[in-house]
Amino acid sequence: METEWDWLGPPLDVRPLFPVERGALVELLSGLDSADWSRGTGCPGWSVRDVAAHVLHDQIRRLSAGRDGHPGGVFGAGETVAEFVNRTNEEFVRTARQFSPRLVAGLLADLGAQLDDFWAVRDLTAPAGTGVSWAVPEGRSPAWLDIAREYTEFWVHQQQIRDAVGRPGAAEPALLRPVLDTFLRALPLTLRHAPAAAGAVVRVGVPGPAGGRWTAVRGPRRWALAESGAQAAAEVEVEADCLWRLATRGITPDEARGRTTARGDMALVAAVLEIVSIVR
């Protein structure tokens, strides 16, 4: 049955991965010393403690609003979505600096399990209560994409903590591939202004066990993620580590360009490398 979101590609169900990803995070945090908790991260101005607290804030916000129907924060006058998110995130992180590391890790484990229960009963094909603006800028988004977006949020923040303390992990294909797959749901929006005739094909390939191939086709109204046997107007091959960092702006498009292999229409290649899969 066709749905309004077919152009985003087939639905994902990442819900079984949350306990696995969270277990790796809690285990990591439980083994850090006080110096580790104070280390700076790739999030400007935030330490390991702050990033962990931000993940906790996400859990609290989701449970309060989605499960309990609590209205939450209020937009300031003239505040954009990005400005609202940045302000409320900073306010919570500042408050959470009073929490002990043990308390943060314990709350992450407990509230994460409650969030699992909440999402377990969600209809993945129903509209989401929260939109995914980096893939669907106007209108509603499917619940499966909203939940997958939240999984990527948790996974990326764990990687930022791991980068900060020099402890790689949680990057096995079963955990990483859904992150890449979710981020590439932004491809149709990323290409929206790229000049291309109807039927044009763009392919993004990611080598390795966590990778795969994603194809975007230019339709009469918009680009769509769909299978196509047609020759690609542009092809981009990018390593998994480079792709997720690019999509979250851990690296810039210029930095990513030196780590990719590209063929075909360079204007389309350049458009692909502008992909952003976070709210900014």
Q: Could you read off the pLDDT of 13-43 as tens digits, one per residue?
A: 999 999 999 999 999 999 999 999 999 999 9
Mean pLDDT value of segment 96-102: 97
* Single-letter residue type at 136: V
Share of the chain above pLDDT 70, in %: 99
Residue 247 burial by Cβ neighbours in a 10 Å radius (0-12, 13-18, 19+): buried
* Strand, coil or helix: 215: strand
pLDDT at 1 over 60: no
Identify any residues that bridge with 216 across adjacent strands, giving them in sequence order: 202, 225
pLDDT category of residue 156 using cuts at 50, 70 and 90: very high
* Strand, coil or helix: 206: strand
Q: What is the DSSP letter of 250?
A: S
The token pair at 48 is: 């390991």
Which parts of the chain fold into alpha helices (H)?
Answer: 18-30, 34-37, 48-62, 81-96, 101-120, 143-165, 173-183, 187-190, 240-247, 253-257, 266-272
The whole-angstrom distance between residue 121's C-alpha and the CA centroid of its chain comes to 22
- Residue 189 neighbours by CB under 8 Å, 6+ apart: 134, 135, 136, 137, 223
The token pair at 208 is: 């390795």
In this prediction, residue 112 carries a pLDDT of: 98
Distance (Å, rounded) from C-alpha 253 to C-alpha 134?
17
Distance (Å, rounded) from C-alpha 24 to C-alpha 17?
11
pLDDT category of residue 74 using cuts at 50, 70 and 90: confident
In this prediction, residue 71 carries a pLDDT of: 87
In this prediction, residue 82 carries a pLDDT of: 84
Distance (Å, rounded) from C-alpha 242 to C-alpha 34?
30
Q: How far is CA 221 from CA 100, 269, 280, in A?
A: 52, 21, 26
Mean pLDDT value of segment 95-120: 98
Which position has the higher pLDDT, 160 or 280?
160
Mean pLDDT value of segment 160-188: 98
Rg, Å, the chain Cα set: 19
Mean pLDDT value of segment 49-69: 97
Distance (Å, rounded) from C-alpha 146 to C-alpha 128?
6
The token pair at 25 is: 């995070």
In this prediction, residue 2 carries a pLDDT of: 61
Distance (Å, rounded) from C-alpha 194 to C-alpha 183?
19
Distance (Å, rounded) from C-alpha 242 to C-alpha 249?
10
Closest CA to 92 of 65, 62, 53: 53
**Backbone region of residue 113 per phi and psi (left: phi > 0; alpha: psi in -120 to 50; beta: other values):** alpha
